Amino acid sequence: MIGTDVGPYRVIERLGAGGMGEVFLAEDTRLRRKVALKRLMPHAVRDGEARARALHEARTVARLHHPGIATVFDVLEGDDTLIIVMEYVEGETLGSRIARGALPAGEAVDLGIQLADALADAHSHGVLHCDLKPANVHLTRGGRAKILDFGLAQLSAKTRASEDTRIASTVHGLSNSSISGSPGYMAPERLSDGPLDERVDIYSLGVVLFEMLTGRRPFDGSNLVSAAVQALTVDPPAPMSIVPSVPAAINDVVLKSIARVPAARYQTAQELANALRAAAGGSVAAAAPPPTRSSRSRGRVALAAALLVVAGTASIWLSGWRPWRSPTRGGAVPTVVVKPFANLAGDATNEPLGVGIADDLTAKLAALPNLAVVSRDVTAAYLVKSPASATIARDLGATYVVDGGFERAGDNLKVTLQLRAADGQVVWKKDFQRPLPQLFALQRDLAEGLADGLDLTLTRKERGLLASESTRDVDALADYSQGRLFLDRRDQKGNVDHAIEAFTRAIGRDASFALAHAGLGAAYWEKYVDTKDAAWTARAIGSSLTALRLDPNNAEVHVSLGTVYSGLGQFTTAKDELQQALVLRPTSDDAHRVLGDVLAKEGKTDDAVREYERAIAIRPNYWQNHNRLAATLMKVGRYHDAETAYRRITELQPDSSVGFNNLGVVLMMQDNLPQGLESLTRAADITPKPGTFSNIGTIHFWNGRFDEARKAYLKAIALSPADASLARNLGDALGGLGDTAGAAEAYRHALDLAMNQWRVNPNDAAVLGLVGVLEAKLGRKAEARTHIDQALALAPNDSEVYYRSAVIAALAREADRAVADLRKAIAAGYSVKLVKRDLDLRGLHDRPDYLAVVNAQRPT
């Protein structure tokens, strides 16, 4: 473009470029002034979202006229062209200035005042920047600061409510599925779905002030997840603790600006500007250079989705790792089942309320140490067929069944409670009634009344537990209940999204509803499982920590947070949370099961099995407890025991694909491919899932039907395009068909996806091992060995990781190492039958040491 005319603008030189566009210096030939041309790349112009974002930026900034904000003059559009004409600012970015060292306190405060004044003007026009950072601030040669790049700007909630504007609807549509912004500068509330206001920019400006004064950010998280964890859990250091010469008054202004809770910050940019002016009235000395920036550990988010078991040349998928909730326990203490309450008035709009009343009663009763409670998660399968109470009690091993009905009439709510013995006979019954605004008192009445009906002697502390408040808003309770219903059946397509919507509605009605925040965190985690988009992990962290802040003594919240920390790879912290949950609720099978998951990740298989068995003892008919136990048994080679557990799941959940998928996997492990294919086909008929199609493809692959395998893998990829294992499997199928170029392309794509997953959680040995296998398939021998050695260091007892190491060695023609690692993999529980089927190991088949390893007798 240099030397050409674009409309009335003559291009002089190229100033820079990014992934989506280029910036040029040009001259406006009409007005004889220099301008900056921001041109989108042609591929970005053709991308509807990128084009909309660029136009949104131009229209947003065009609303603003302030000396501290770079002006937009014009927009030039064509079929493959979009150019924004902006004010040209000579000088350097604030980021470049900070890179040379911390600024003197006086200079930093002066620039902070300028930026706060500019933000105050933008906010007065209803515009939030949402991505303020040093790279987006330009310093003129005269020392003035100008804010650039409003590409992520949004209209405030107040403005959106008062204006019917195309800009607002466009940007809202761009941000539904992910979080945009810069790690380290993003306000903690950006991780939730709540409305944003001016305080998000105040937080970002506070971080910029911190960085100007000290030369570093308060939190050094290099990605969204690690930055989110620190911003949500760690108090920022004081600037004067890093640079002692920072005046105390300025130190206090910065810390207030970056307060974790929005209400604790300055509420407007103008208020921040005034505080900086007042602080600058004292003695402001030049800041000493900061110490060298130290490295920090990055946040880690594990793949909490299906357990991936590498099955030779292709990957086998186990379905169903999920954080579920609520307890029960058999044994000496009474065990109670609380059924959802019937809607006696018949108004369908009130239907979920019966679930909410039962859930709240379940949560209160479950907190009592001398009572075990079965949640509705377990009873749901039975309620489909409307079984008798005696049947439910028999199947769940319950001593009592609680049922009844409710009637909502105007502003009043009447609830009838019934307590039935194991034979179905009513042994106690009572009516309760309160006005709807007294929902909290009604919930307490129900719990205390039922405790009396059970002849429980309660201490003062236990009565306090029954009086604990979940929510006083009846509609919030109904929305929460609806969300739980959807999340409990997350195996059904679309239910996780519906759960998010329901939990969000509940929080909108009652922002202090801790269980709704915990449920939202669990639902966000499921979105990460499905999409591998790290933005969902950040939201899961935010919601879970909000729930804990609201109710630190709620066992369910501790289980939810323990699940998140486990996914982050912070196993010690996860175990602390889960142990705390068990202190608060000893009958929580959820806490035992998730604790088992953590121990399994640490390679402590025996301890993990014990936790799963404790969960099963508490809830013997809950499929997920059997599912996690079976997965661990299969991992250590106890295939027959795992098969028995999976068959039990198909009995407990005959309408769920999970049990049939996992039964198919364990049959594959035992080389029973016909029955395995039959079970997997049934799973796909119930619910089409990427893992199931991948497993079907692997059976075809093993049988030499490479084209059928290719078709199945493509179906899997269509459902989960971001999963590296699926792309790897497709590459194997294409290789089997003789398409070496297509296979290499698939492996390269798989490697890109795997590296993305690894960056989310650098502590994930399984993903790191997959990275190594893909590198080996692409001929990158040294890189593959580096990565697999790192994986072995992370998981020194993991059969899958040793197996992947053997594959990498075989592909590198290091036969001795391959056989040695195979021996370790098989000793740790890897299936010999799968080893024999792996085409990547065919170069070892004639070696006596290989034959000795695979032909050795060991129980399967």
Query: CA–CA separation, 823 vs 495, rounded Å?
Result: 44
Query: CA–CA separation, 121 vs 61, rounded Å?
Result: 11
Q: What are phi and psi of 388, to 5 degrees?
A: -70, 155
Q: What are phi and psi of 84, to 5 degrees?
A: -100, 125
Q: Which member of 131, 201, 530, 533 is catalytic?
A: 131
**Residues 6 or more apart in contact with residue 174 via CB below 8 angstroms:** 49, 52, 53, 56, 180
Name the residue type at position 697. G
Query: CA–CA separation, 216 vs 292, rounded Å?
Result: 9
Query: CA–CA separation, 672 vs 790, rounded Å?
Result: 34
C-alpha separations of 752 from 305, 724, 728, 749 in Å:
19, 8, 11, 5
Point out which residues pair with 33 in neighbouring strands: 28
Query: CA–CA separation, 256 vs 209, rounded Å?
Result: 12
Place of tokens 């003129």: 140
Query: CA–CA separation, 339 vs 380, rounded Å?
Result: 9
What does the CA dihedral 212, 216, 219, 220 come to, rounded to 10 degrees?
A: 140
Question: Cβ(266)–Cβ(275) under 8 Å?
Answer: yes
Beta strands 400-409 and 342-343, pairing class:
parallel
Helix (H, G, I), strand (E, B) or coil at 80: coil
Report the length, in residues, of the chain: 860
Give catalytic status of residue 131 as yes or no: yes
Torsional class of 78: left (φ above 0), alpha (ψ -120 to 50), beta (otherwise): beta
Place of tokens 């690692």: 821
Helix extents (H) in 369-435: 376-383, 389-396
CA 211 to chain centre: 29
User: Which active-site residues does the annotation give?
Assistant: 131
